[in-house]
Amino acid sequence: MQNFASRLFIFVFYLGLSCSLALAEIKPVIVRSLDGKEVLVGDKNDKPQLIFILATRCPVSNAYNQRMEAIAQDYKDQLIIVGVNPNETESDEEVKNHSVTNQFSFPIYRDPEFKLVNSWKVKVTPEVFLIDTNGKLIYRGRIDDNQEVDKVKSNDLRNAIEKLIHGKAVNGIETRPFGCTIKRISK
């Protein structure tokens, strides 16, 4: 009986990690461009929005740099794509250099007051948010299931994007992201 209970617990735990969950509502948030301008993300728009939460120093986030850019290239005509770096320990100059070095074709914004991080309950980098044209969050979580590209078995974000752009129902999918914590400086 104990063996059955152990297997049941593992099954339920695994199911909890990978199943679709009801997503919390998100509100549009103002972030800052690297030249200091305010930009609204997460609002109603002509195209769906994809927001990458990323970092310059996180090895997990950096393992996804080429995949994020590949997704940006593949869907640049169908989506508005941006990156947001919320880490207080990473300077604007470092964020700019990181963007140039990785040849990101999408703009990188900052969240210096943690408005997006706090409102959307972001915990790690990388994490992604896919928002439809009505400003409704339809996917949140990881880009795929493995930081090592040759070990990926599930392209969660791409699957959600494909459903969205082909008019198939995307009913609030959430996957558990993994990566580095958001870096805040204690005051």
Task: Please tell me the predicted confidence (pLDDT) of residue 153.
Answer: 97
DSSP 23-45: PPP---EEEEETTS-EEEESS--
Confidence of residue 187 (pLDDT cuts 50, 70, 90): low
Task: Please tell me the predicted confidence (pLDDT) of residue 184.
Answer: 86
Q: Averaged over 99-109, what is the pLDDT?
A: 98
Q: Averaged over 86-98, what is the pLDDT?
A: 97
Confidence of residue 24 (pLDDT cuts 50, 70, 90): low
25 or 158, which is more confident: 158
**Residue 178 to residues 32, 125, 131, 156, Cα–Cα distance (Å):** 25, 7, 20, 13
Task: Please tell me the predicted confidence (pLDDT) of residue 23.
Answer: 58
Question: What structural domains and CATH numbers belong to the chain?
Answer: 21-181 (3.40.30.10)
26 or 1, which is more confident: 26
Task: Please tell me the predicted confidence (pLDDT) of residue 185.
Answer: 79
pLDDT in tens, 148-184: 999 999 999 999 999 999 999 887 889 999 999 999 8
pTM over 0.75: yes
Q: Averaged over 65-94, what is the pLDDT?
A: 97
- Closest C-alpha to 30, from 112, 106, 129: 112
- Closest C-alpha to 128, from 95, 157, 166: 157
Q: Averaged over 31-56, what is the pLDDT?
A: 96
